[in-house]
Amino acid sequence: MKNLLIVESPAKAKTIGKFLGPNYTVKASVGHVRDLPKSKLGIDVDNNFEPNYITIRGKGDVIKELKKEAKKADNVYLATDPDREGEAISWHLAKILKLDESKNIRIEFNEITKKAIKDASKNPRKINVDLVDAQQARRVLDRLVGYNISPLLWKKIEKGLSAGRVQSVALKLIIDREREINNFQTEEYWTLDLNLLKSRKKIVAKYYGTLENEKIKKVKIKNEDEVNAILNSMDDKKISVYDIEKHEKSKKPYAPFTTSSLQQEANRKLNFTSKKTMMVAQQLYEGISIKGEGSVGLVTYIRTDSFRLSDEAMESAKDYIIQNFGEKYYFSRVYTKAKKPDVKVQDAHEAIRPTSLDRDPEKIKENLTADQYKLYSLIWKRFVSCQMADALYNITTITFNSNNNIFKTSGSILIFDGYKKVYQYSDGTDDKVLPEINENEELDINKIDKEQHFTQPPSRYNEATLIKAMEVMGIGRPSTYAPTITTITSREYVVKDKGSLLPTDMGFLVTEMLEKYFSTIINNKFTAEMENNLDEIASGKVDWHEIINNFYKEFKVHLDVAEKEMEKIEIKDEVSDVKCDNCGEFMVIKKGRYGKFLACPNYPECKNTKPLKDKESVEETDIDCDKCGKKMVKRKGRFGAFLACSNYPECKNTKPIIHEIDVNCPMCNNKLAIKFNKSGRRFFGCSNYPDCKFVTWNEPTNEKCQICSSMLVKKNEKLVCTNKNCGKEEK
């Protein structure tokens, strides 16, 4: 019996294909096959908001092949991702391939391993129409908002702007934080530290407060006069120990990763953007070719907001921990669905975890790219550590008293590393050993430090903290965090400033307009409530048409008011310091399809334009373009600097910049040059490429091997012969 199994991606198809044997043909739909048209609204508002789906442009050949394979198959199964989006793709495929939706044609799995695929293929189910309806409702909602408000922004402000049900709320969070920063009133405060000596060991005791009626009261020092008053009331030579408190403190490991926490941790630890994290995680989920195994999925499904772990996964963690670290390191933990009761979780999938603990990151490192290894290590270690014992510390807090002025210091000693054996992160309890001190003992004051400070405004959001805020407020879902951030940055509503998300003037302007005319819709409370409504649709408790109808009634009122009352805002072009070659006017900076460019302000009388030269990334040279004769400029690209024609876009000629070194090529005697591959890794190659293709990863020298006369290169502080048959090493 011939079976056809359809998944979304070719990578996933390749991985799954080797698990199912010759009776199965596995093909990829390459994502969605049907969607709403881009050229129009595509929703029949007067006909119960029925969507008008069309075949996505460019998918003709894919659909033709799927239909051809479906005709040859006895059974067709749809194995798209196990979420609403995946369910909708299966539903669209069923429509296009004219499959019987009353039959069990849907296959679902949480990980791409042989066992998971085999088990899933034996237990197909019907397409879940409730999940499809929830996805349709989200798509229709987003289309109604985006395709009605965006043209309004084009008409009243500037072309190319956009608004969205989720993206505009995320932008508003960033804007509101910037307003907090701008309105923040700084307050003065002071700190007072004593540097004490005990057995030649330094102790820093910080001012805490006062002792009143045998009770310690915490006090904030507001100005220098208060500091001086404290110092005048103290003995500036010695201070006595008032109290010593010792206790054990335990630190629990973090829960396994959800989509949100993975994006946040990868941003903090690896400096990955949310988009990059999801791209690499998708690769790990769909399958990596492992030596001796072939292609296999390394992690479970990556779009989840659940902490849940399967019994099988927890048992594998137990066995691994006991076998490798001993029983004292194991502690069984079941994590709750959400840290806060008001955060709604779908809980459709497990947390993100490795599919097998046997694939230790170090064992399979050679099969992974650098980014894949980093992210997989993070997921693997987080999962193992979540089933490990607490880390234990001995905490000592010493209280000092000088004429009822209280100072404190504390120290900690790690007495059992627990989960930290596997997963390290700073938790503020690093080892700080204090010398042995007794109560009522007097210590010498070696130095007094007083310092003025001012309270600081709240920090701007970065990608990690914005995702956390969206998660806590219920804005969007795991699959939407990364695309939302990508949208607001690509629209230039925000820019990245040293990792922080800084709103632009355009971001402020658009947000102010939306707040004025769509305040009840573009806010976090409404967006979170709508997410709950979508969950209700997914669980079959409410009809999606009813939710859309209720939304549209209010939305249409706001839309009509905005159409009538929103004033047209004229945004003046930024004037540059570049004069027009034709008429002498200072050119202005404009936005085009391919970015910013210079244009003459006398358009249409003068139609002169020029590429905008970013002073930070463009540098003029005396090198002539060998295609058009114009001067080449030095630009910075993804993999470093390169030469490009200044006559772009008319001439698109580019050249690599060659950094020659004083070493001759052993093959052609031309100079060698420092080069970089697509991953940014440095190597050395002949400057006469492509005529000469000599390369070496190690630093070349002009030294010759005494045995075979081949070039010697530096490797691990040794000189090594480049002739593999020789392999001689010298000091």
Q: Is 557 exposed, middle or buried (0-12, 13-18, 19+ CB in 10 A)?
A: exposed
List of residues 6+ apart from 669 with CB closer than 8 A: none
Lowest mean pLDDT among 219-233, 379-393, 683-697: 683-697
pLDDT tens, position by position, 272-283? 999 999 999 999
What pLDDT, in 10s, does the model give residues 10-46?
Answer: 889 989 988 998 999 999 999 899 999 999 999 999 9
Predicted pLDDT of residue 618: 64
Cβ-contact 489, 276 below 8 angstroms: no
Structure confidence at residue 681 (pLDDT) = 67
pLDDT classification of 50: cutoffs 50, 70, 90 = very high
pLDDT number for residue 639: 52
Architecture, CATH, for domain 259-385: Orthogonal Bundle (1.10)
Q: Is 15 exposed, middle or buried (0-12, 13-18, 19+ CB in 10 A)?
A: buried
**Per-residue pLDDT at 344 exceeds 50:** no
Cα–Cα distance, 397 to 629 (Å, whole number): 75
Structure token digits, residue 422 = 């596997």
What per-residue confidence (pLDDT) applies to 429?
58
CA distance 686 to 658: 10
pLDDT at 492 over 90: no
CA distance 619 to 715: 35
| Pick from 23-32, 395-404, 661-670: least confident | 661-670
Confidence of residue 341 (pLDDT cuts 50, 70, 90): very low
Over range 454-462, report the average pLDDT: 94
The four Cα atoms 302, 303, 304, 305 give a dihedral, to 10 degrees, of 120
- Burial (CB count <10 Å: 0-12, 13-18, 19+), residue 124: middle
CA atoms within 13 A on the CB side of 264: 16
User: Over 60: is that where the pLDDT of 380 sits?
Assistant: yes
Amino acid at 664: N
Mean pLDDT of 703-730: 74
Q: Highest mean pLDDT range out of 359-368, 416-425, 643-652, 666-675?
A: 359-368
Q: Where are the alpha helices (DSSP H) in 157-300?
A: 167-183, 224-232, 259-270, 274-286
- Which residue's entry shows tokens 């979780």? 345
Strands 294-296 and 442-454, by their bridges, are unpaired
Mean pLDDT computed over 215-239: 94
The least confident of 16-20, 57-61, 336-340, 631-635 is: 336-340
Task: State how far the alpha carbon of 540 is from the alpha carbons of 129, 136, 536, 544, in Å.
Answer: 9, 14, 6, 9
Is pLDDT above 70 for 337?
no
Q: Is the model's pLDDT at 555 over the cut of 50?
A: yes
Give SS3 for 599. strand
Taking residues 603-627, report their average pLDDT: 76
- Quick one: pLDDT at residue 46? 94
pLDDT at 345: 46
Q: Is 684 helix (H, G, I), strand (E, B) or coil?
A: strand
Mean pLDDT value across residues 615-634: 76
Overall fold of domain 137-184+459-565: Topoisomerase I; domain 2 (1.10.460)
Is 707 in a helix, a strand, or coil? Answer: coil
Does residue 654 surpass a pLDDT of 90? no
Copy the structure tokens of residue 58.
């460019």
CB 417 within 8 A of CB 424: no
CB 429 within 8 A of CB 413: no
- As a whole number, mean pLDDT of residues 288-313 equals 91
DSSP 641-680: EEEEETTTTT---EEEPPEEEEEE-TTT-PEEEEEE-TTS
Give the DSSP H/E element, type plus range, for residue 446: strand 442-454
> Between 15 and 591, where is the model more confident?
15
Separation between Cα atoms, residue 135 and residue 87, nearest integer Å: 8
- Does the structure show a pLDDT above 90 at 338? no
Find out whether the peptide bond into 649 is cis, omega within 30 degrees of 0: yes
Percent of the chain with pLDDT strictly greater than 70:
93
pLDDT tens digits, residue range 152-183? 999 999 888 899 999 999 999 999 999 999 99
Instruction: Convert the pLDDT of each residue in 497-522 to its tens digit.
Output: 888 999 998 999 999 999 999 998 88
**Confidence (pLDDT) at 266:** 95
- The position carrying tokens 């050949």 is 61
| Max CA distance (Å), the chain | 94
pLDDT at 727 over 70: no
Label the pairing between strands 188-198 and 442-454.
Answer: antiparallel
pLDDT score of 702 more than 50: yes
Residue 252 CA to residue 461 CA, distance in Å, equals 27
Q: Superfamily assignment of 188-252+392-454 in CATH?
A: Topoisomerase I, domain 3 (2.70.20.10)
What is the arrangement of strands in the sheet containing 640-645, beginning at the earlier edge strand? 618-624, 631-637, 640-645, 654-656
Catalytically annotated residue among 24, 301, 376, 552? 301
Evaluate if residue 704 carries a pLDDT over 70.
Answer: yes
Q: What pLDDT is attached to residue 163?
A: 93
What top-level class would CATH report for the domain 3-127? alpha beta
Q: Answer yes or no: are the C-beta atoms of 51 and 43 closer than 8 Å.
A: yes
Q: Is 147 known to be catalytic?
A: no
CA distance 652 to 649: 6
Span 68-95, mean pLDDT? 95
| 565-590 average pLDDT score | 86
Domain boundaries, the chain: 3-127, 137-184+459-565, 188-252+392-454, 259-385, 572-612
Location of structure tokens 């030579």: 237
For 407-425, what is each residue's pLDDT tens digit? Answer: 999 999 999 999 999 997 6
Mean pLDDT value across residues 283-312: 92
Calculate mean pLDDT across residues 241-269. 94
CA dihedral of 269, 274, 279, 283, whole degrees rounded to 10:
40
- Considering only residues 681 and 723, tell me which one the structure prediction assigns the higher pLDDT: 723
What is the average pLDDT score of the chain? 89
Residues 6+ apart with CB under 8 A from 357: 316, 317, 320, 380, 383, 384
